[in-house]
Amino acid sequence: MSTSPARRPLLAPALALAVAGTALSACTTAGGSGGGGWGSGATYPDATDLRRATAVWQDPWVAPTEALTAGPTSGPDAVTRTVGHRTTGYGDAPAGADPDRWTVGLEVEAAVASGWRLHAVDCAEPAAYLVRGDVEDLDTLRTALVVAGTDGVDVTAYVPHHRDGSWPDPGPVRDPATTCLSGAAGAGDAGDAAGLPDELDELDEGDPFPGDGATGDDERAVPRWPADDADDADDADVEARVAEVGADPWVAALPHDVPVPPAGDDDWRRDAPLLRERVPAEGATPAARLAATVAAVLATGTADAWAVTWVSCHPGDPARPAAATLRRTGEAGTAVLALTAAGDDTAVEARLVLPPAGWRAGTTYVDGLAALPPVPPAAVAGCGRDAAAPVTAAPVTAGTPAVLPASAWPTGE
């Protein structure tokens, strides 16, 4: 364990990928063209990586707004393990509380209530490291780093890459009430001073961890997206999905159109059609603004196309964020919409995502999104109790997040 409170700042995954992609887009190796020589075929994601990533995407606490799979990074054998990220804003902390410790503590509280375990705390950052699952079972293991940032709390989730043979020991389980994040006077013990494990610097990217748990083929060729006629058909499918979603009355009323991203190289990461908007909403609390926006989507959007799959809010509490995901199904395919309301911001953040072109590896997962049961209307209505609800009202959490990746790597399927 590290005893130094200073740590290397972690880039948000989207920013890290953008920086890496810009720096390495001109690199070439014998394994591929353009950016495709970035890693060996053995480090490209396979079915194991997708299965591990989707478990995090649908985790009701993580519920990432940016979803990825483990995959290649700079160097022939290095891998990246980030599979999800979100930045969540909060309102004002209680009088006398440290705002950063308070917000990180609230995230830890929610994580533990959802089945995660706290293993390490850094009081100076402040930050927390959490684990869900058995560290000896790489297929079900999920880990997360919670850090206070300038725009809110950054939650970044990691899973083992299929080339990882083991995972670093997270250390003993901690009781959040005994740490500096609890807010209690004098809280914190010797475990806080130990800080976060040094190995956390290697979770984002690095060489595979040694051990017997690695899977996959060392000699796997660099996968490529479908070519020629199949690729043309994939592009047509994406254009049809974008057109169908763009014609939805609620989506059509947004300031911008859903973009159709360029396909790029046949052995490189493809971006998904993705639209971010800030939607004005009324309500005295984030929960009420979320409920109002969900109601508008259901009332204005194409009839029977939208369904709420997950909701999380704290009725009556202006400091707590509120979020929901909706699934849209149509003849051309499935899209997902993430809504987030936070603090005193009168706008709700909306993020609309469609599957990337040619993402055949995700077909089963996308079909599963269409089959997610809708959240009972009473749960969503519970978020709309607004200021009439006491701050101590029980939080509302129901359903399964509907999440699609912002980009995908080819798998050769």
3-state class percentages of the chain: helix first, strand second, coil last, to nearest 5: 30, 25, 50
Do 212 and 400 form a contact (C-beta atoms < 8 A)? no
Residue 29 carries which DSSP code? B
Region of 283 (left: φ > 0; alpha: ψ -120 to 50; beta: rest) is: left
Q: How many residues can be counted in the chain?
A: 413
**Mean pLDDT across the chain, nearest whole number?**
86
User: Does position 188 have pLDDT exceeding 80, yes or no?
Assistant: no
In the block, which residue shows the tokens 């130094």? 4
* pLDDT exceeds 90 at position 8: no
| Prediction pTM value | 0.89
Which of 97-101, 111-115, 403-407 is the least confident region? 97-101
Each residue's pLDDT tens digit, 33-69: 333 346 789 999 999 999 999 999 999 999 999 999 9
pLDDT value, residue 3: 37
Confidence of residue 196 (pLDDT cuts 50, 70, 90): confident
**What integer pLDDT is reported at residue 197 of this predicted model?**
84
Handedness of CA 130, 166, 409, 413 (dihedral sign): negative
CA dihedral 302, 308, 311, 313 (to 10 degrees): 40
Strand 117-122 and strand 127-132: pairing? Answer: antiparallel
The answer to whether residue 105 scores a pLDDT higher than 70 is yes
**Per-residue model confidence as pLDDT tens digits over 202-239:** 898 999 999 999 999 988 999 998 876 677 788 889 99
Model confidence at 5: pLDDT above 90: no
pLDDT-above-90 percentage for the chain = 63
For residue 408, how many other CB atoms are within 10 A of its CB?
Answer: 26
Segments in 153-227 forming alpha helices (H): 190-193
Residue 86: its pLDDT value, please?
97
Residue 200 scores a pLDDT above 60: yes
Q: Is residue 19 very low, low, confident or very high in pLDDT (cuts 50, 70, 90)?
A: very low
CA pair distance 81, 160, nearest whole angstrom = 6
Give the separation between CA 347 and CA 73, rounded to whole angstroms: 36
Q: Which region among 190-199, 248-257, 304-313, 324-333 has the lowest average model confidence (pLDDT)?
A: 190-199
Which 3 state secondary structure label does DSSP give 212?
A: coil
**pLDDT of 148-186, one tens digit each?**
998 899 999 999 999 999 999 999 999 999 898 986 655
- Mean pLDDT over 189-199 rounds to 69
Q: What's the rounded Cα separation, in Å, for the pair 32 and 266?
A: 9
Q: What angle do CA 304, 306, 311 make, to 5 degrees?
A: 135
Rounded to whole angstroms, how far apart are CA atoms 174 and 137?
21
365 phi and psi angles, rounded to 5 deg: -65, -45
